[in-house]
Chain A
Amino acid sequence: MNENQEHNDQQNLNEDQARRSFLKKLGIFAGIGAVATAGAVYVGFDHEKKKNPTGKKVRVLTADGKLMEVDEAELEKNENAATEELNELQRRGREGLPGKHWVMVIDLSKCRNARMCMAACQGAHELRPEQHHINVLRMQDADHTEPYFMPKPCYHCDNPPCTKVCPVDATFKRQDGIVLIDNERCIGCRFCIAGCPYSARVFNWIEPLKPANDRVYDVELNVPQKKGTISKCLFSADCLRKGEMPYCTRACPNGVYWFGDRNEDTVTNGTTKETVSFSELIRKNGGYTVLEELGTKPQVYYLPPKNRAFPFQYEGKTELDPNDSRIGGGRG
């Protein structure tokens, strides 16, 4: 109590002053919270600002030997050739091939589960055996219908739910329709896996199969793979740049895959190299996309598994284990 008394006695402060100083301090107090939040936002803006072009163009030689002009601002941080090459790969990787819109048509009546596509893909992308950019699934649509094999790559959706949810733009859709991943930017939140209704994405849960060893990351091949980041089918964007067909389409011995450009309205068979009209192929053969009711607009079309020259057979059985299909348990 004594302390209290003393305190009271000392109270000779101008009240108004006390009030004002209290207010001021309270303000500072509240300000700290606001500043902390604003600070985080500012860092983001500041970075964006730094990326603004200076207007000065510089000539550089690209990795594939082309001479090109880039903005000086983009060169700022290129300390050595490796980062320069990386930046160039990233830049053109994000841009895509102008004027193209890639599509794939998969003919289910021809697929015999040879899995050459899976092997070629896993080899090219340095994937572990359980990681699939393309996965040949055993499907059955309804009770009593005939089971069939369905190769499932990423569908490179025109309305991709996976890129929408990525917080850092590490997965994105390019002008030529390909949905790519930048594993130099990915933070490994796996929101895109949750977002993809087709289970097309895989994650590098542990160290990738092959170490990076100073190799420069190619965003169009997603190699070297990186621990803690995403991977998925890229429509072999690296091959397309070189004018080749994707790895899987070329590896198939059964003529299952057609690949081409929707804008040109042509697709070429990976096995026979025959080229036909894309729209005619899907129109005449009842082409469809998977779960189109989700509104994702897949760019991989299927031709139904009709008139097959061979029966369904998996591990010696001609019928599908009910637990193995979508209408059964969905867990094979």
Chain B
Amino acid sequence: MASTKLSSEESRKVLDKIETDLIRPMRSHKGLELWLLFLGLIFIVGGYAYFIQLRDGLGVTAMRDYSSWGSYIANFVFFVAASLIGMFISSVFGLLKIKWVIPISRIAEMIALAFAMWAGLVIVIDMGRPDRLHHVFLYGRFQSPIVWDITVVTSYVAISMLLLLIPMIPDASILKRRMSDAPKWQQMIYNLLTLGWDAQPEQYAILKRSMRVLMILIIPIALSIHTVTSWLFAMTLRAGWDSTIFGPYFVSGAFVAGVAAVIIAMYFFRYNYKLGDYITDYHFNRIGQVLVLVSAVYIYFNLNEYFVPAYKMRTAERLHLEEMFTGHWAYMFWFAQIFCLAIPTFLLIFKKLRKPKIMLWLAVFVLIGAWLKRILIVIPVQQHPYLPIQNVPDSFKEYHFTGIEIALNILPIAGVLLIITILAKLFPVISVWEVAHEKGVDETIIK
């Protein structure tokens, strides 16, 4: 995709076509009302569930004294995991100057921002006393990994937002020009984001420099959000969590979940937004390769995480590993490992299978597996503490999801979809100016 400079006549033509193609889907609202209604319904159900939880206490979930962290924390880990993808696609690939990610990097950033923003809320849902949230700021102590987590997640949200909005500047200027019929508030947003953009070479220089700084800055922060999240477990003395590879294990798993989410979003935008000319089979082929790569790394870490203790079978670990391999959690465990990780990775090795439709299905499996995997990391370990669980009702020894819990796990997912929907209606999901650049459009007319 080497770019050759186009003449100014051609430049205008090409730019006009890109603009039209990428902005058109923002104007079409077909099915949007129905979709929003659906999301709204989830919010109402989730809101009611939360009301009940506030009124009656966390006892309305399956959590009890032994499995005191449950599906909310698993969901939180999943959200943080999925949010890492923004940094992976747009920063790592961007800094390596890998061109094919250009049309999908904004999609990745939108997904990342949406998940990161909701991650904070998921953790509030899990709190026994959400009314005391401010205590974290009043009495926060720095030796608690929770405080580290809050610090890095907030920074990550802030930087992700900048990484989404700063490259939006030239596009905002285009939108300002082309969306003159949009509602006042929408125009105001574009106006604000333009920041006096005039496509001057100096402005490009500043823009690119700022993007570069952000891309570099976001890498350590993104790595630390998930590493610190893994430390919530690894910093305890519990057999099964007490692992030195939890950081990289979580980070590699995060990339798997994130790439799967991007594939699903790519498929959706390609067909629904009719962006077939921009998100092509070539891009699916490429991202498919990326999924194989990150999954292979993740499988490697899984091997270390399960095989090494399973070989030794230390008493405390044996109990929980047996439950995973052959006991209560075996179905979920093998489903997640085989159908949601090993098989998709294997199939995607073949170029013939790296086609949009097949990849969509595989990605859905991978994503479901990623969620289940977080459950398997969080809950079973707690059911095998060092000292036996005795003199408590049976409900303390098992974990059966309640309806309230399910509603409150779906609520933030709907929230993520809502944010992505709003962003995709406000901004082109593919960066207009960067695509135009790639096609050799004269820089100075992109405004």
Contact = CB atoms under 8 A, between A and B. Distances in A.
Contact of A191 (B202, B232, B383, B385): B232
Interface residues of B, number: 78
A19 B388 contact: no
Interface stretch (B32-40, B121-129, B340-348): B121-129
A309 interface: no
Interface in A277-309: 290-291, 294, 296
Interface stretch (A25-33, A80-88, A253-261): A25-33
Contacts of B384: 330-331
Interface in A176-215: 185-191, 193-195, 197-199, 201-207
Interface string B47-73: 000000000111100011110110000
Nearest to B143: A164
Contact of B138 (A7, A44, A131, A137): A44
Contact of B129 (A4, A37, A40, A188): A188
A47 to B, nearest CB: 5
Contacts of B146: 165, 167, 189, 191
B198 interface: yes
Contact of A201 (B56, B65, B151, B161): B65
Nearest to B328: A331
Given A197-B237, A228-B128, A26 B139 contact: no
A47 B138 CA distance: 6
B144 A15 contact: no
A168 B136 contact: yes
A206 B64 CA distance: 10
Given A137-B390, A198-B386, A29 B166 contact: yes
Interface stretch (B265-273, B391-399, B409-417): B391-399
A1 B16 contact: yes
A132 interface: yes
A236 interface: no
A33 B154 CA distance: 9
A135 B356 CA distance: 57
Interface string A153-169: 00000000100111111
A21 interface: yes
A324 interface: yes
B195 interface: yes
Contacts of B56: 206-207
B358 interface: no
Interface string A308-332: 0000000000000000111101111
B391 A169 contact: no
A206 B57 contact: yes
B41 interface: no
Interface string A20-46: 011101100110011011001001100
B244 interface: no
Contacts of B447: 7
A33 B386 contact: no
Given A3-B177, A188-B129, A331 B397 contact: yes
The 8 closest A-B pairs by CB, nearest first: A188-B128, A228-B128, A205-B59, A33-B158, A206-B59, A25-B195, A332-B390, A167-B146
Interface of B: 12, 16, 56-59, 63-66, 68-69, 126-130, 132-133, 135-141, 143-147, 150-151, 154-155, 158-159, 161-162, 165-166, 177-178, 180, 195-198, 200, 202-203, 206, 210, 232-233, 235-238, 241, 315, 319, 382-393, 396-397, 445, 447
Interface of A: 1, 3-4, 7-8, 11, 13, 15, 18-19, 21-23, 25-26, 29-30, 33-34, 36-37, 40, 43-44, 47, 130-132, 135-139, 152, 161, 164-170, 185-191, 193-195, 197-199, 201-207, 227-229, 290-291, 294, 296, 324-327, 329-332
Given A3-B180, A4-B177, A199-B389, 19 more contacts: A4-B12, A22-B206, A33-B162, A40-B137, A47-B138, A130-B65, A130-B391, A135-B391, A138-B388, A167-B150, A169-B139, A186-B129, A193-B69, A194-B238, A197-B236, A199-B66, A204-B128, A207-B57, A326-B315
